[in-house]
Amino acid sequence: MRAFLFPGQGSQAVGMGRALAEASPVAREVFQEVDEAIGQNLLKLMTDGPAEALMLTENAQPAIMANSIATLRVLEREGGIRISEKAQFVAGHSLGEYTALCAADAISLSLTARLLKIRGRAMQNAVPVGVGGMAALLGATLEQAQAIADAAADGEICAVANDNAAGQVVLSGHLGAIERAVAMAKDMGAKRGMMLAVSAPFHCALMQPAADVMLHALKAARIDTPLVALFANVLAAPITVPDEIRARLVDQVTDVVRWRETMLAMHAAGVDTFVEFGAKVLAPMVKRTVADAEAISVVTMDDIEALAKAM
């Protein structure tokens, strides 16, 4: 069995999408539709920068989605591949969940782009710059990370945000609490704690204003039953009902991205091949969590051609 995966924020880089757009009219169609949907020349920003503008959450989120969908669409249209025939599940890391739903025809490409523009802006605006922070705890179990978060909170918010892979857990919350967590991480069993260069404290209670914005935006959004089931970030379980998808997309703004558990649950459901589209971020996480699974990253035209032949 096979699952298609879609990366989240942090996988953006100046130059992304250029080679695909130059090589494939299918990719160019995707980028043009996204540009028109959000009223912005996003492809130019993706290919030429500046990096500071691409890093902005409201730009990074639709850009990462567009790059992943362009990669998938080239595979589908030029390789004659249908997701409903070649994948049993889809999943995406944080914003990648929207990409996964677009890939599975639950949300149109133009609507996905608009929703991610709204989501990115809302998440950026939810917390003033300098108030929040995030840190990676390397070599820590989920239980150790939770203990560190609890000890560091001291009346502030300090929570597990991403359970990414074995030995990689991310905390989010008030900056002071996150700095305390990094300082005490090694003494409490982690290999080390490392502050992350992020613009806001994602996936914690401080994001509630953004969750409120997405509740309103998603209420008006057309969501259809996906062609294949989505493994939801906050459940680590498959869902297909549009109203539940809406609810879980709101929940994931403030809740934990249970990525490690999702990979284990997919594997337990029979998935032995994980295919990541648009970046090389999630496949290494899969290998750290499910060592006997095949994990492939599809980024270049050569990658696409190789996967089409393998399928």
Given 94, 174, 267, 297, which residue is catalytic? Answer: 94
Q: Based on the residue annotation, tell me whether 94 is a catalytic residue of this protein.
A: yes
Phi first, then psi: give them for residue 245, nearest 5 degrees.
Answer: -60, -45
Output the DSSP codes for 225-266.
Answer: PPSSEEEETTTTEEE--HHHHHHHHHHHHHS-B-HHHHHHHH
Instruction: Give me the phi and psi of 41, to 5 degrees please.
Output: -85, 75
Condensed to tens digits (0 to 9), the pLDDT of residues 149-193 reads: 999 999 999 999 999 998 999 999 999 999 999 999 999 999 999
Among 93, 174, 203, 267, which one carries the catalytic annotation?
Answer: 203
Q: What is the rounded CA–CA span in Å between residue 169 and residue 138?
A: 7
The CATH superfamily holding the domain 132-198 is: Malonyl-CoA ACP transacylase, ACP-binding (3.30.70.250)
* Per-residue pLDDT tens over the stretch 19-76: 999 999 999 999 999 999 999 999 999 999 999 999 989 999 999 999 999 999 999 9
pLDDT at 166: 87
Q: What is the pLDDT of residue 88?
A: 96
Q: Is the pLDDT of residue 197 over 90?
A: no
Report whether pLDDT(241) > 90.
yes
**pLDDT at residue 81 is higher than 90:** no
Residue 298 contacts residue 70 (beta carbons within 8 Å): no
| Superfamily of segment(s) 2-126+206-310 | Malonyl-Coenzyme A Acyl Carrier Protein, domain 2 (3.40.366.10)
Give pLDDT, residue 213: 98
CB 120 within 8 A of CB 26: no
* Residue 127 main-chain phi, psi, to 5 deg: -135, 130
Domain ranges of the chain: 2-126+206-310, 132-198
